[in-house]
Structure 1
Amino acid sequence: MYEFYLLEQKYIQLISNIIPSYSVCFYVVFVVHQFPSDNVWGDITMKLEGTGRVLLQLDAEVNVEYKEMQKMPKNPLDTEQVYRSFEIECTPGFLSRNNSIMIMTACGRWVGTTGIEPLPQSGMAVFEIGLPTGFIVLNDDLRRYVNSLMVPNLRYARANSRYVHFFFDT
């Protein structure tokens, strides 16, 4: 599933060679546009006119080769119901005259207290946040954040050019 978010008024033309007959043009204030793709190869060309900010998010993930091999925590009385393990909420904010500083609040909590074997704590967990192009996080700042003990179960944090990883343990 591909999603395109348009935050300000722009003219956008989207052409995909993944789905050859798929082309979209729109001129709007806010759009969330989704289209599924069975083929996860190819390229997408996006042409923009105007000023402001646009977010193009493209995500394709595969954890296992066959869907029937996926193991999700399910309700034993209703096998269609899947139990959640975590709740995660991310809220980005932008500062400075040209929005070049991003402050993101990311909150996650364990909700795996239901099911056949409810657990009061999750055990080891890794929280991965993707960094938008052009933004960085300094590892020194992450070390200071971990050492501040503001988040009691946060044990380690590291950043590279694409992701920030937070390691939690009880």
Structure 2
Amino acid sequence: MYGTVRVNTQGVGRSMIQLTTTNYVEYRFLLKDTQDRIQFFELMSDYVRFTGRNSSVMVMNPCVRWVYLDKSLQSGLTVLEIDVPTGYVVMNHTLRDYVNSGIVPNLKRAEFCYRKVVFYFSHVDNSKTCVNFQADR
């Protein structure tokens, strides 16, 4: 299957486009059985806010928690990646200062790389572990 997607926009403000693809399998026995059916983490975003002139500042507060308690009471090393909209940046020195502040005890490293904010945790347990960051346009 093939095709073309063409998007033409005009004006000011925010816009989002999402493309989803789906594959169908004719017979159930042809599907591979994977561990994807087990939920390991729960991810939620309690707070996302756009402020400033033309929504030039985005503040986000994503949270994660370990839910696979049958395996262990906490995860091992956990990486949380958050895509940042085009045109927004997060300064790495701000993320380093946030890690060094100790506000999130199990947060060991954070960096902004290729339109993603990446948080590295030593572990995540069953309680909500939240981080807070600001992206500017």
- Asked whether the two chains share a fold, i.e. TM above 0.5, the reply is yes
The code of the aligned residue for 2:16 comes to L
Aligned partner of 2:132 in structure 1 is: none
Structure having the higher Rg: 1
Q: CA deviation at 1:42?
A: 5.5
1:136–1:161 Cα contact (<8 Å) kept: no
SS in 2 for 1:56: coil
User: Runs of 5+ in structure 1 lacking a partner?
Assistant: 1-38, 61-65, 74-81
The alignment's TM-score, normalised by the length of structure 2, stands at 0.71
Q: Aligned to 1:92, which of 41, 48, 65? A: 48
**Higher relative CO (CA 8 A, sep ≥ 6), structure 1 or 2?**
2
Aligned partner of 1:134 in structure 2 is: 87
Aligned residues: 114
After superposition, what is the alpha-carbon deviation per residue over 1:72-92, rounded to whole angstroms, capped at 9, x for unaligned? 16xxxxxxxx33110111242
1:93–1:102 Cα contact (<8 Å) kept: yes
1:153 and 2:106 aligned: yes
The alignment's TM-score, normalised by the length of structure 1, stands at 0.58
1:154–1:169 Cα contact (<8 Å) kept: yes
2:13–2:54 Cα contact (<8 Å) kept: no
1:121 and 2:74 aligned: yes
User: Runs of 5+ in structure 2 lacking a partner?
Assistant: 22-29, 124-137
SS in 1 for 2:97: helix
After superposition, what is the alpha-carbon deviation per residue over 1:14-58, rounded to whole angstroms, capped at 9, x for unaligned? xxxxxxxxxxxxxxxxxxxxxxxxx5x754212335554221134
Q: Aligned to 1:107, which of 54, 63, 70? A: 63
2:99–2:110 Cα contact (<8 Å) kept: yes
SS in 2 for 1:57: coil
Q: 1:72 to 1:102 in 2, by over 3 A?
A: same
Q: 1:106 to 1:67 in 2, by over 3 A?
A: farther
Runs of at least 4 residues off by over 4 Å: none
SS in 1 for 2:95: helix
Q: 1:141 to 1:50 in 2, by over 3 A?
A: closer
Q: Give the structure with the higher percent helix.
A: 2
Aligned partner of 1:71 in structure 2 is: 34
CA distance in 2, matches of 1:156, 1:120: 22
